[in-house]
């Protein structure tokens, strides 16, 4: 399809890589805050469980969930927020939400406007707000399937930058040591295999003279296999996100740009009205998500996952906003979901 002639991209520079090797494993007794970037997927669940198995003081652990849709439902599973809340409650740790105003959809529809501000929940029950006064820019296209975070803008705009804003925007992190934990695994992509397991977080200001905060970024399961991830879920009897029960191998956005033909065919089958909206934007923009075909063609090439066809009640759960089934089950009867060990698409 034709590229939009009017497309412009006055964007902030990509994240700064801070070449600072601080070893492989942090001292897990030395931090004031242990913050898990928690999507509700198996990898962030495993990172949380690994902290608990490593004896980290539970009262210092928090989950940060970045709501990709920013309370403006469009691209993500409607159940995800409620599932994250259920996991947090089951393990007795607080969950704080953060999001870019208007979420994925508003960012995608930017047309001569700045990117929206970030909103984040704070422990005192109030909301913080940051940004919204950046350079004006125009998207009017879906994020593109590439490792370049400027054109694959969803990861930065709805997750990475949101997490950084929530850390920078809260004075409680000043003068403290914070460990920010994410669940990337090297096995998932060539790009991830090059990540450091421990480095300074991009919000770290330990060498500064004002607003000093020490923030390390740890990827504890970087070298884990998928078997190890499911094994820790089983040890704790943690029921995985409903999308794994539908047959997906990754709990990314429902309509993740990296999704393959079968995932798109599944979404078209279980959520036809939303699929129409998503496909309609491609046609409106004249720019497809995948480089060489529309999502309509992609979905037509695939087949819905058999487990999604066989389990309409799980599809209803995934598309609802209330997680009303057990989040913890007996580890003895815990089973791998149909999406385990499947083919997943790309980084998020
Ligand atoms: S899950 Fe996919 S669509 Fe959603 S933010 Fe990540 S890369 Fe983008």
- Contact at 8 Å (CB) between 29 and 60? no
Q: How far is the CA of 176 from the centre of ligand 1 (A)?
A: 31
pLDDT exceeds cutoff 80 at 1 = no
Helices (H), 127-260: 153-155, 161-168, 190-193, 226-235, 242-245
Q: Kindly report the average pLDDT of the chain as a whole number.
A: 92
pLDDT exceeds cutoff 80 at 112 = yes
Query: pTM value?
Result: 0.91
Using alpha carbons, select from 158, 149, 166, 162 the residue that is nearest to residue 69. 158
The DSSP output letter for 347 is -
Query: What pLDDT does 345 receive?
Result: 53
Structure tokens at 54: 């490593």
Rounded average pLDDT over 27-52: 98
The DSSP output letter for 117 is P
Q: Is the CB of 154 under 6 A from ligand 1?
A: yes
Residue nearest to atom 2 of ligand 1 (CA): 256
Superfamily (CATH H level) for 33-238:
HUPs (3.40.50.620)
Query: What pLDDT does 6 receive?
Result: 29
pLDDT exceeds cutoff 90 at 150 = no
- Contact at 8 Å (CB) between 206 and 213? yes
Rounded average pLDDT over 68-77: 97
Those residues whose C-beta lies under 8 Å from the C-beta of residue 190, and which sit 6 or more positions away, are none
pLDDT exceeds cutoff 60 at 328 = yes
Query: What pLDDT does 321 receive?
Result: 97
- Of 103 and 7, more confident: 103
pLDDT exceeds cutoff 70 at 266 = yes
Number of Cβ within 10 Å of residue 258's Cβ equals 19
Q: How far is the CA of 211 from the centre of ligand 1 (A)?
A: 32
pLDDT exceeds cutoff 90 at 75 = yes
Q: Is residue 273 very low, low, confident or very high in pLDDT (cuts 50, 70, 90)? A: very high
* Polymer length in residues for the chain: 348
φ and ψ at 134, to 5 degrees?
-75, -170
Q: Is residue 178 very low, low, confident or very high in pLDDT (cuts 50, 70, 90)? A: very high
pLDDT exceeds cutoff 80 at 5 = no
Q: Is residue 147 very low, low, confident or very high in pLDDT (cuts 50, 70, 90)? A: confident
Q: Is residue 8 very low, low, confident or very high in pLDDT (cuts 50, 70, 90)? A: very low
Q: Is the CB of 189 under 6 A from ligand 1?
A: no
Q: How far is the CA of 251 from the centre of ligand 1 (A)?
A: 10
Rounded average pLDDT over 102-130: 98
Query: What pLDDT does 22 receive?
Result: 55
Q: Is the CB of 143 under 6 A from ligand 1?
A: yes
Q: How far is the CA of 212 from the centre of ligand 1 (A)?
A: 32
Query: What pLDDT does 344 receive?
Result: 58
Q: Which atom of ligand 1 is nearest to the CA of 104?
A: 5
Query: What pLDDT does 136 receive?
Result: 97
Query: What pLDDT does 24 receive?
Result: 77
């Amino acid at each position: 399809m034709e590229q939009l002639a009017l497309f412009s991209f006055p964007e902030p520079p990509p994240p700064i890589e801070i070449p600072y090797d601080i070893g492989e494993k942090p001292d897990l007794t030395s931090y004031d805050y242990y913050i898990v970037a928690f999507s509700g997927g198996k990898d962030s669940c495993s990172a949380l469980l690994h902290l608990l198995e490593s004896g980290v003081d539970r009262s210092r652990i928090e989950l940060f969930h970045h709501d990709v849709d920013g309370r403006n439902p469009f691209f993500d599973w409607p159940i995800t927020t409620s599932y994250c809340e259920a996991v947090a409650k089951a393990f007795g740790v607080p969950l704080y939400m953060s999001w870019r105003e208007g979420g994925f959809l508003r960012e995608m529809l930017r047309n001569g406007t700045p990117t929206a501000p970030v909103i984040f929940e704070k422990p005192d029950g109030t909301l913080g707000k940051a940004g919204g006064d950046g350079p004006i820019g125009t998207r009017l296209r879906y994020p593109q399937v590439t490792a370049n975070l400027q054109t694959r803008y969803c990861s930065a705009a709805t997750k990475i930058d949101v997490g950084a804003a929530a850390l920078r925007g809260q004075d409680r992190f000043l003068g403290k040591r914070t460990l920010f934990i994410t669940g990337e695994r090297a096995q998932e992509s060539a790009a991830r295999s090059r990540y450091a397991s421990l480095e300074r977080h991009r919000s770290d200001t330990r060498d500064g003279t004002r607003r000093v905060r020490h923030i390390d970024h740890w990827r504890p399961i970087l070298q884990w296999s998928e078997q190890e991830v499911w094994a820790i879920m089983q040890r704790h009897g943690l029921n995985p996100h409903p999308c794994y029960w539908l047959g997906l191998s990754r709990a990314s956005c429902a309509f993740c740009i990296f999704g393959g033909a079968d995932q798109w065919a599944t979404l078209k089958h279980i959520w036809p009205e939303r699929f129409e909206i998503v496909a309609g934007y491609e046609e409106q923009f004249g720019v497809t998500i995948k480089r060489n075909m529309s999502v309509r063609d992609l979905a037509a090439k695939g087949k819905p996952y058999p487990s999604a066809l066989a389990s309409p009640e799980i599809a209803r759960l995934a598309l609802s906003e209330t997680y009303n089934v057990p989040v913890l089950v007996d580890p003895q009867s815990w089973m791998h979901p149909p999406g385990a060990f499947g083919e997943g698409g790309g980084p998020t």
